[in-house]
Structure 1
Amino acid sequence: MAKQSPRESSPDQPTSMIQLRGIRVHNLKSIDLDLPLNQLTVICGVSGSGKTSLAFDTLYAEGQRRYIETLSTSARQHLNQLPKPDADHIDHIPPAIALKQNTRKHSTAKGIEPTVATESGIHHYLRLLYTSLGEISCPDCQLPVTPQSPESVFAFIKTLPANTRYQISFPITKTEERSTAEVIEDLTREGLTRVIINHETVNLSDSFTHVDEEWDDFLVVLDRLNTKNLDEQRVLDSLEIAFQESSGLATILVEQTELVQSDIGLPFIIDQKTWFRFDFSTELICPQCRKQFIFPEPQLFNFYSPAGACPLCQGSGVVSDPQANPKTTKICSACNGSRLNESALAVHVQNYHLDQLCQRPILELVDWFQNLSQGTSAPIQQRLSPIFREIKDRLALLNELGVSYLTLNRSVRTLSGGESQRITLASVLSSSLVNTLYVLDEPSSGLHPADNDRVISVLHKLRDLKNTVVVVEHDAEFIRTADHIVELGPAAGKAGGKVVFEGRYKKLIATTATPTSNFLNAPSIKTLKSAPRNEASQWLTLHDVTQNNLKNLTVSFPLGQLSVVTGISGSGKSSLIEQTLFPVLSDLMTETTTAETFSFCESTTGVEQIDEVILLDQALVGQTSRSIPATYLNLFDDIRAVFAQTADAKLRNLSPKHFSFNSKNGGRCHECKGTGLIDIDLQFLGDLTMVCQECHGKRYQRELLEIKYRKLNIAEVLALTVDEAFPFFRGQAALQKKLKQLKDVGLGYLPLGQPVSSLSGGECQRLKLAAYLTTTSRNKTLFLMNEPTCGLHPLDVKHVLNCFEHLLSAGHSFIVIEHNLQVVSNADHIIDLGPGAGEQGGSIVVTGTPSEVALHPTSYTGIALKHLTTAN
């Protein structure tokens, strides 16, 4: 079969369709759709048009619900019935898997940060591999530690020189339950007559009745033999008895001669003569230092489990540094940052313990695992082939997605947005399922235009495995390569929710009736920006930055301008801005330290020219599901005050606090405690969330919902989008001012009561930005942002650019990490990092205006900008 180009779509006609009829989820206007099975469908449209409602709240929700219905009655009895999407009927929908774009993952509930290995699913198979193939060696003695058996001890005896005397014995452990006399009596009863007590041989058959109760060493001799004539069955029988009588212990005593010299055996005096003592155990005990280890099992290599986690750092790899301050951490001295305990680190495969293996780049591991699987014996290959296959397939997928420079133990927190997105993508796509519905939310998020083809190629391969792939996307490349396109709109919120286009790409660009077609048919930019908005008289400079992969960079940022940091994913953008510039400036501006204390940045200049620095990152702005946009901007306080002033509220003596769903003494629903949702533990599946059956998701008790302002109750007001709420609150100047801030950052489509935890990273940043739009009194503020256009339709990006213009005009400065070419082409100053990712990145490729960067022959950003002037 000929290999298909990532830019080609499948010519095959679908054999059947997912039939959607009368879909009324959220703002969808009873739409009818037929989505082709086994093809790649892109759902596009302006922000808030209903794409997520269709893709996730309808397709994925119904696919998941029907899968649960196929489970046995005994399994389903533990699960609550999932609600059906509001629709007339949905037919031919396969089981569904989802990847929803949101903020980056940080620490777990236990404070243990996930890694590339855990997020990609590789770590699970590595634990199985180390359980099956791992060999234990004592970290102190560097000796192999293996469980012994009569056969293995006999093999050792055969290695002794000829004509060597040896004794087979087993140790007696002193206990409080039995006296020495009782021990001897038991031995005599069993017919055992010779023991070695305190290094002296004693014959129990010589009417021996008493021995000193105090003894340090007690060995029972089973047989005294010579290697001159090895009677295998006699030796094995004696060893079998030794292991049985001492709960898995056996001791071989070898007489010292000129031919017998040992670095392993311990010198042992018997009757004033020197012997060598060799102790064997069916447990994992070092033969020299007697340290005991744990038999390998998967949980031993899991740093989330007490069985595998380092006892000092509890699996986090770091401990607090009280000498600095309580919040400062340092590498754990017990595990050296590996997170695992000593027993786990004693297990090696090909001389690597698990953490050492995970320190190697993914690209190196591809060949390493190939050689490992080929070097094992045929029976082992057959037994472990599923494990080898899963590991190699996942590594190959990560390599194909362009993150082969990462190491498996890299913390997800330190990844860029594009890197994090592709790791999560690899986890979802590596399941090798067929006849499955995959629903993905903006797989282009965080990707440089040069990286798009990698992800598109993987999605096409997934489709070619007879899977149905549905993608919510704004990126033109993804739309161009789709088999089927659905555009929702024409606008956001209640003005959206309709199917404004359905068909192939050629049909889409042949029309000018939709926002996406207008964008795709927009004329190319004739000339790129060649001069900044103003000449920069002040600059902020970092000197000799070495954070992560940055190679002794000295970088200057113009103040009072829009600076955009570009480069492919992994080139060092987040390392420069989020992990270097922000912490250095924060510490300098609080006057707690100097830049010289940072090992990754030698010095800074120009800091005195700004008054404060603010990082508007993609972290969730709300800590719980109770947080909503209205509470973040204090809009909710004004809304509750408006309701408290109504005649009905005054008649019932209701104050603003009664309209809070966060207050125990307010009018919130008692069942869901004001969240509107009930969390369901699905036991063996991931947790699910259902709408509260008591309040039907409205968050409030019935009495509170009877209070209305302009014919709407408090729950109905929270369901309004920002655009809808603005005219609704006419006459409320303070409310409208805050709503205008949200409209200005492109969040007009956002419902006032949507949980903040469901917002994308870009929406979180714009929500934070809205709070600063009226802060013109703040002088010389430096705003730092990472991909603020994430989740925005190209026609909505202009809102973000207008916000930048407003704050720049007030004397502030912006440094933005961005891949979106609309933002990049509007930059006053571009700093392009690269040329590649990982170790191949970390250098400055080119700096300057968009027109200057476009002239650079090897800059990926320059090539993309140049393409803007020639497209269409």
Structure 2
Amino acid sequence: MSGVGKQDFIIIEGANEHNLKNISVNIPLTKSTCVIGPSGCGKSSLVYDTIYAESQRHLLEFTSSVYGQKIMDKPNVRNIQHLRTALNISQKFYNVNPRSTVGTVTDISYYLRSLYSLIWNFEHKTTYSEGDFSYNNPKTWCPKCKGLGKTESIQERLVVPNEHLKLSEGAIKWYAGDSSSLPVALLEAICADFKIPIETKFCDLTKEQKYILLYRTEERTYTVKYKTPQKKVRNRKHSTRGALVEIQEKYKQLEKPSIRKELEPFLAEGICDLCQGAKLNDTIADVLIGGKNISAVESVELPELMDWINEISSSYKHSVIGDMVAYLCNTIGERIQHIISLCLPYISLGRSVPSLSGGEMQRVRLARQLSCALDGVLYILDEPCKGLHPKDIKHVVNIVKNLTTRNNTVISIEHNDEYIAGADWIIEMGPGGGPAGGEILGEYKPKREAESTYSFNDKSSFGETLIFEDIIYHNLQHINVQIPLNEITCITGLSGTGKSSLLRVIYDSVSQQKAIYSKLYKGGQNVGRIEYVEQSPIGKTSKSTVITYLDIYDKVRNLFASTEQAAKAGLSASDFSMNTPGGRCEFCEGTGWKKVDLQYVPVNLVVCPECHGKRFTDNILEVKYKDYSISDVLDHSIQEIKDIFKDERAIYSSLLNMEALGLGYLKLGQLTMNLSGGESKRLKLAKALGKLGRKHILFLIDEPTAGLSKSDIQKVSSVLKQLKEQGHTIVLVDHNVGFIAHVSDYMVDMGKIPGNGRKSSVIEGSPYYVYNHPDSSWS
């Protein structure tokens, strides 16, 4: 970009945050810049931890005078010039409040409630405020569901999810656990007392035996020996009744967080039987405008809502309130159109935010920005194409161009070739991840590459098959699907056609070995286990680390506790835990960080001043396993420390899986909340691979290539093909056509029509057949 003055750039000099190696780079203002490179190469460290963090720090400089303290540390960068106020439209948006909906986060619900209030009061001389139409108003919400439209109840099918399992295998989930745990000890005592063979499948039990285990109201007391989660042996008396009786009794205290956590596996949502999902009391639910109450309007898909808005605007065009109705309708319509333009026509205003994928939520938030009159802002986007079919990418590219024409600057982290080609400037980072990254490999204008040609598998015959007939679930309406075992099946289709919903149907049906959300299911009797690698984020707290997520921390702590040094000092495995008092640093509670969390100020983590990030007290750090302290194990990369566990099969295989998936540069003590989307997805897969065993496993994976560079995708492809060669079955949802062509043996395409209006059949068969079918999403 020669010939342009330096004032037209954000100038970064000497950035050293995380793995950045003293890099300097210029980012053009009022342009769209794409930062590319493999996972862990430093893209987020540059964009979020340096540029965005420094913008936030400047924004909060005045706050420091109010609080009388420094709020945020300066990022490890020598200098940044011409930085603008930054808005983070990332996928790491943890909103788990079920009351938060698409309508509330976009403010469309506010204007819609105002419209209802205006028209009703004009026509009926009744005084209803905008707030009276809110589901969050205790005066007007449904008294039973309190404005949620749904209620939770205990479901027997979740207490006994698979009737074909033996009691000893955890058929009754209330009594499932490790062989030495309290639930298993109680089950053994009950079975011995009532002479019920514990090796019997639940489906083979008599009615009387099932009653004793599930519905018995008579309380009996047993003295049982078991181990606590901290591996401490207990020998105590415990009283027990039937599993469902005990669960229903605890259900009365569901508002307690500990009880909710305990009962979560047995709870299922259903439509509130009082308001039938309307969320409001009868008085407000009876308020109809254009023949619909506000709940009905918020439940329809956006194109239908646009039709209703246009009808209302036309109906009151010549009335006294015509101008005000037109203003509200135009505002609502404009905001709806922005959401539709971002390939989300199938979404409704009442859709709960926690139910949205990361990609959907990011696009909803982006649509909200399009409705604002802001200019001169720096927008930061994290994988804006995540979850999108290739045909939809052009819409996102156009939205970004719209932002830059309004004098805004856009910096994106993205891997999609079409999106990258639509940017104004490219910053390439690498060459690898972790210590091997952190460098600028190039800065240049994008080059439009020639379109690739793909060679698809044309396999025509398959062996054993999972069969699902007449599926009815969410926007899947009366569809039939087959999934061949011992193959790799790719589920494709436009956003909103039900791909992730189909994964859920497969998971629930196979795990429970019966038809769930369908009229017929068969063929899964030889599936030994099912692993679901879904889209939900991992590690939302500073307590969640790579080592805890992989479930190998207990084994590592036991190794340290078995050393001669630990024995002499009287230390147990719990003393090497970050999560329990004992050997951890109590000032930071074993996190190595202190959190600065003030109202209206983003959370900021600073290194603990007591342990200096080591997490443990000095006496714990003196204990060494093969010359490494527990802190060393947590703070070295997996590549560096894996070989010290060569003789520990469970630990070593987990670390090898991480390396095979290109995550060897991560540290075991790294916070999972700070991992990129691509890293999180592969960490989930690595954890699943750590449970392989000898049984036939069905892997369900939602978008395995999301957030990955080409080199990372090759690693994932290799792992998936190895799993298939070992006799396992893989079913995945993805949009990367090159990846799909490379790995798929079978393809299920959900078609071109998103939402409830989609066709009642799918196109399935060989990838070659489906990709070239005139009715598939690819044609």
TM over 0.5: yes
* Superposed displacement of residue 690, structure 1: 2.8
For residues 750-829 of structure 1, the aligned pairs below 5 Å read: 750-759=666-675, 763-773=679-689, 775-825=691-741, 826-829=743-746
- Secondary structure in 2 matching 1:860: coil
* Superposed displacement of residue 55, structure 1: 1.1
Answer 1 or 2: which has greater helix percent: 2
CA distance in structure 2 between the aligned counterparts of 1:320 and 1:526, rounded to whole angstroms: 47
CA distance in structure 1 between the aligned counterparts of 2:467 and 2:8, rounded to whole angstroms: 60
Candidates 122, 134, 146, aligned match of 2:126: 146
For residues 513-592 of structure 1, the aligned pairs below 5 Å read: 524=452, 527-531=455-459, 536-578=462-504, 580-588=505-513
Candidates 596, 602, 605, aligned match of 1:690: 605
- Secondary structure in 2 matching 1:456: helix
User: Deviation digits for residues 322-372 of structure 1, max 9, x if unmatched?
Assistant: 686762333213322122334543555445432122123212333443554
Candidates 484, 490, 494, aligned match of 2:431: 490
Q: Which residue of 2 aligns with 1:174?
A: none
For residues 295-444 of structure 1, the aligned pairs below 5 Å read: 295-298=128-131, 300-321=132-153, 327-370=267-310, 372=312, 375=316, 390-412=331-353, 415=356, 418-444=359-385
CA distance in structure 1 between the aligned counterparts of 2:308 and 2:355, rounded to whole angstroms: 25
CA distance in structure 2 between the aligned counterparts of 1:623 and 1:690, rounded to whole angstroms: 14
The code of the aligned residue for 1:333 comes to D
Candidates 659, 684, 695, aligned match of 1:743: 659
* Superposed displacement of residue 451, structure 1: 0.9
- Secondary structure in 2 matching 1:88: strand
- Secondary structure in 2 matching 1:670: coil
Q: Which residue of 1 aligns with 2:83?
A: 93
The code of the aligned residue for 1:100 comes to S
CA distance in structure 2 between the aligned counterparts of 1:339 and 1:86, rounded to whole angstroms: 49
Structure whose alpha-carbon radius of gyration is higher: 1
Q: Which residue of 1 aligns with 2:26?
A: 34
CA distance in structure 2 between the aligned counterparts of 1:82 and 1:379, rounded to whole angstroms: 53
For residues 601-616 of structure 1, the aligned pairs below 5 Å read: 601-616=518-533
CA distance in structure 1 between the aligned counterparts of 2:641 and 2:664, rounded to whole angstroms: 9
Residue 460 (structure 1) aligned with residue 401 (structure 2): yes
**Structure-2 change in CA distance of 1:781 and 1:677 (3 Å):** same
Residue 667 (structure 1) aligned with residue 657 (structure 2): no
**Structure-2 change in CA distance of 1:777 and 1:320 (3 Å):** closer
Residue 629 (structure 1) aligned with residue 546 (structure 2): yes
**Structure-2 change in CA distance of 1:704 and 1:730 (3 Å):** farther
Higher mean C-alpha deviation, range 396-405 or range 618-627: 618-627
User: Deviation digits for residues 207-226 of structure 1, max 9, x if unmatched?
Assistant: xxxxxxxxxxxxxxxxxxxx
Contact in 2 for aligned 1:309/1:315 (Cα 8 Å): yes
* Superposed displacement of residue 624, structure 1: 3.9
Candidates 467, 472, 481, aligned match of 2:413: 472
* Superposed displacement of residue 304, structure 1: 3.8
Contact in 2 for aligned 1:661/1:675 (Cα 8 Å): no
CA distance in structure 2 between the aligned counterparts of 1:775 and 1:404, rounded to whole angstroms: 39
**Structure-2 change in CA distance of 1:124 and 1:679 (3 Å):** farther
* Superposed displacement of residue 677, structure 1: 3.8
Q: Which residue of 1 aligns with 2:58?
A: 66
* Superposed displacement of residue 692, structure 1: 4.9
- Runs of 5+ unmatched residues, structure 1: 1-8, 138-143, 148-294, 510-519, 589-593, 864-872
CA distance in structure 1 between the aligned counterparts of 2:757 and 2:5, rounded to whole angstroms: 43
CA distance in structure 1 between the aligned counterparts of 2:490 and 2:608, rounded to whole angstroms: 48
**Structure-2 change in CA distance of 1:467 and 1:805 (3 Å):** same
- Secondary structure in 2 matching 1:601: coil
- Secondary structure in 1 matching 2:275: coil
CA distance in structure 2 between the aligned counterparts of 1:803 and 1:652, rounded to whole angstroms: 43
Q: TM-score, normalised by structure 2?
A: 0.77
- Secondary structure in 2 matching 1:674: coil
CA distance in structure 2 between the aligned counterparts of 1:706 and 1:575, rounded to whole angstroms: 48
CA distance in structure 1 between the aligned counterparts of 2:30 and 2:533, rounded to whole angstroms: 40
Contact in 1 for aligned 2:585/2:611 (Cα 8 Å): no
- Secondary structure in 2 matching 1:356: helix
Q: Which residue of 1 aligns with 2:218?
A: none
CA distance in structure 2 between the aligned counterparts of 1:352 and 1:699, rounded to whole angstroms: 60
Contact in 1 for aligned 2:663/2:679 (Cα 8 Å): yes
* Superposed displacement of residue 63, structure 1: 1.3
**Structure-2 change in CA distance of 1:780 and 1:642 (3 Å):** closer
The code of the aligned residue for 1:531 comes to K
Contact in 1 for aligned 2:317/2:326 (Cα 8 Å): no
* Superposed displacement of residue 419, structure 1: 3.9
- Secondary structure in 1 matching 2:584: coil
User: Deviation digits for residues 216-242 of structure 1, max 9, x if unmatched?
Assistant: xxxxxxxxxxxxxxxxxxxxxxxxxxx
CA distance in structure 1 between the aligned counterparts of 2:136 and 2:441, rounded to whole angstroms: 48
CA distance in structure 2 between the aligned counterparts of 1:609 and 1:721, rounded to whole angstroms: 39
**Structure-2 change in CA distance of 1:526 and 1:458 (3 Å):** closer
- Secondary structure in 1 matching 2:494: coil
**Structure-2 change in CA distance of 1:762 and 1:342 (3 Å):** farther
Contact in 2 for aligned 1:134/1:296 (Cα 8 Å): no
The code of the aligned residue for 2:143 comes to P
The code of the aligned residue for 2:281 comes to N
CA distance in structure 2 between the aligned counterparts of 1:686 and 1:308, rounded to whole angstroms: 33
**Structure-2 change in CA distance of 1:630 and 1:678 (3 Å):** same
- Secondary structure in 1 matching 2:375: coil
* Superposed displacement of residue 803, structure 1: 1.9
For residues 197-216 of structure 1, the aligned pairs below 5 Å read: none
The code of the aligned residue for 1:51 comes to K
* Superposed displacement of residue 446, structure 1: 0.6
- Secondary structure in 1 matching 2:507: helix
* Superposed displacement of residue 36, structure 1: 0.8
User: Deviation digits for residues 586-631 of structure 1, max 9, x if unmatched?
Assistant: 222xxxxx52xx5x41111213232333322123454743111111
Aligned residues: 667
Q: TM-score, normalised by structure 1?
A: 0.70
CA distance in structure 2 between the aligned counterparts of 1:711 and 1:386, rounded to whole angstroms: 71
The code of the aligned residue for 1:31 comes to I
CA distance in structure 1 between the aligned counterparts of 2:62 and 2:558, rounded to whole angstroms: 49
CA distance in structure 2 between the aligned counterparts of 1:775 and 1:321, rounded to whole angstroms: 32
- Secondary structure in 2 matching 1:554: strand
Percent identical residues: 32
Q: Which residue of 2 aligns with 1:49?
A: 41
CA distance in structure 1 between the aligned counterparts of 2:83 and 2:324, rounded to whole angstroms: 36
- Secondary structure in 2 matching 1:609: coil
* Superposed displacement of residue 702, structure 1: 5.7
The code of the aligned residue for 1:448 comes to H
